Amino acid sequence: MLMRTDPFRELDRIAQQLTGATGTWSRPSAMPMDAYREGEEYVIALDLPGVAKDAIDIDVERNMLTVRAERRPAVKADDVQMELSERQLGVFSRQLVLADTLDTERITADCDAGVLTLRIPIAERAKPRKISIGEQPAHQEISG
């Protein structure tokens, strides 16, 4: 139902974890994801803990789905001295090529407990259907 667009994305994610690099708009970090079919829908769940809903941007153009998010630092008072900072900040992004069998016009999104869930219905044209033998499609006559 979807295709990975960058086979080296996982290597980039591991390198970022090892170096402690944060994502930028020109080179965003990856976000972990699960994708599965549930009944007549395709479900994509992306981990975005600590990201506000207004910091998530979801776009679909033709069959390319793009999710971008930004985790900003918490506002701290002037007298706060950071002792440890392990939570990754910055920009996260994920692009997925969706199959033509998905209805990109009816995608829904929900964010709960730091998980962004996208639900994409299976297109009617992709669902199995019975074909009766001997039935001809109706043709319209064109008078000239």
Average pLDDT of the chain is 81
Alpha-carbon 98 to chain mean position: 10
Query: Between these two residues, 41 and 127, which has the higher pLDDT value?
Result: 41
- Mean pLDDT across 98-109: 93
Instruction: Name the pLDDT band for 119 (thresholds 50, 70, 90).
Output: very high
pLDDT for residue 107: 96
- Write a three-state SS string for the chain: CEECCCCCHHHHHHHHHHHCCCECCCCCECCCEEEEEECCEEEEEEECCCCCHHHEEEEEECCEEEEEEEECCCCCCCCCCCCCCCCCCEEEEEEEEECCCECHHHCEEEEECCEEEEEEEECHHHCCCCCCCCCCCCCCCCCC
Tell me the mean pLDDT in the region 78-100: 84
